[in-house]
Amino acid sequence: MIEVIYILWLRQLKHYWRSKARLIGSLGQPLLFLVAFGFGFGPMYSRASGGENYMDFLAPGIVSMSILFTAVFSGLEVIWDRKFGFLKETLVAPISRLEIMLGKTLGGATIALIQGLLVFCLAYLLGFRAASFAGFCLGLGFMFLIALFFAGMGLSIASKMKDMQGFQVIMNFLIMPMFFLSGALFPLENLPPSIYFIGRLNPLTYGVDGLRGALTGESVFGISYDLLVISGLTALICGLGAYLFSKTEA
């Protein structure tokens, strides 16, 4: 089982590193957000918050955004494999579908984690600093949980779809509200109660808050609570993904 998962994981990593255009292009949007929002809204945020640095607030949210987009769209590989027949060859192999699902999910999550680390390096160049090395290590845990959750979600949805365009429409319909209502760009506490309630239902909210708490020490819900929620949701979505993938057809 471990060998199969490793092979599928390694296959996704090799495909990712071969696509240099994809690697470089995927850094453009996070860099734009960091520069435009970080320096554009920084002075206003500093005045409103009594001198706090907006880049310290923004950077964990943009790192989470990068992980979110990369992880959730890793599900496209399932549709791509189905379209060109590779999925059929994989499904008829003498291995369980659970192993296939785990390998693809871990591969997508690892790629998303690497993407998040690259964006973290960009934020570092723009002035962001983690509060401590221990906090950075804890932040890596939150980054991987975010990646694992959304890779599992992408795979769960992709296992039931055959159209790439339809998958992209559904993903954009889901992930854009999840990103903007996660507290990545602005604090949730001062929003209207109805919007705040929706934000509390958003899984990414706890990933962003936990990552921000680990890297900067500023957390709304508490790091332990964030860790408990995002871990539970990740286990749930991976279980759901395993079930749906077990029912998929090539």
pLDDT digits (tens, 9 = 90+) for 202-215: 999 999 999 999 99
What are the CA-CA distances from residue 210 to residues 78, 225, 245 (Å)?
30, 8, 30
Are 108 and 149 contacting, i.e. CB atoms less than 8 angstroms apart?
Answer: no
Is 149:230 a contact under the CB 8 Å cutoff? yes
Contact 203, 238 (CB under 8 A): no
Q: How many helices (H) and strands (E) does the chain have?
A: 13, 0
Predicted local confidence at residue 162, as pLDDT: 73
Q: What is the mean pLDDT of residues 212-230?
A: 93
pLDDT top residue among 19 and 4: 19
> Tell me, what amino acid is at 167?
F
Query: pLDDT value at position 53?
Result: 82
How many CB atoms are closer than 10 A to CB 48?
13
**Based on the number of CB atoms within 10 Å of its own CB, is 149 exposed (0-12), middle (13-18) or buried (19 or more)?**
buried
**Residue 232 scores a pLDDT above 90:** yes
What pLDDT was estimated at residue 28? Answer: 78
**What whole-number distance in Å separates Cα of residue 158 and Cα of residue 155?**
5
Q: Taken in order 5, 113, 240, 85, is the CA torsion positive or negative?
A: negative
User: Are the beta carbons of 74 and 108 closer than 8 angstroms?
Assistant: yes
Element (H, E) at 155: helix 133-158
pLDDT band at residue 105 under the 50/70/90 scheme: confident
Question: Given pLDDT bands bounded at 50, 70 and 90, which one contains residue 63?
Answer: very high
Domain spans in the chain, listed from the N-terminal domain onward: 2-246
Give percent of the chain with pLDDT exceeding 90.
30
Q: Contact at 8 Å (CB) between 143 and 63?
A: yes
Summarised one tens digit per residue, pLDDT across range 76-102 is 777 776 666 666 666 666 667 677 777
How confident is the model over 157-195, as pLDDT tens digits? Answer: 887 777 777 777 777 788 888 999 998 888 888 788 888
Largest CA distance in the chain: 62
Check residue 4 and give its pLDDT.
47
Residue 43 burial by Cβ neighbours in a 10 Å radius (0-12, 13-18, 19+): exposed
Per-residue model confidence as pLDDT tens digits over 111-138: 889 889 999 999 999 889 898 999 999 9
Q: Which two tokens stand for residue 77?
A: 């590989």
- The 3-class secondary structure across 29-58, one letter per residue, is HHHHHHHHHHHHCHHHHHHHHCCCCHHHHH
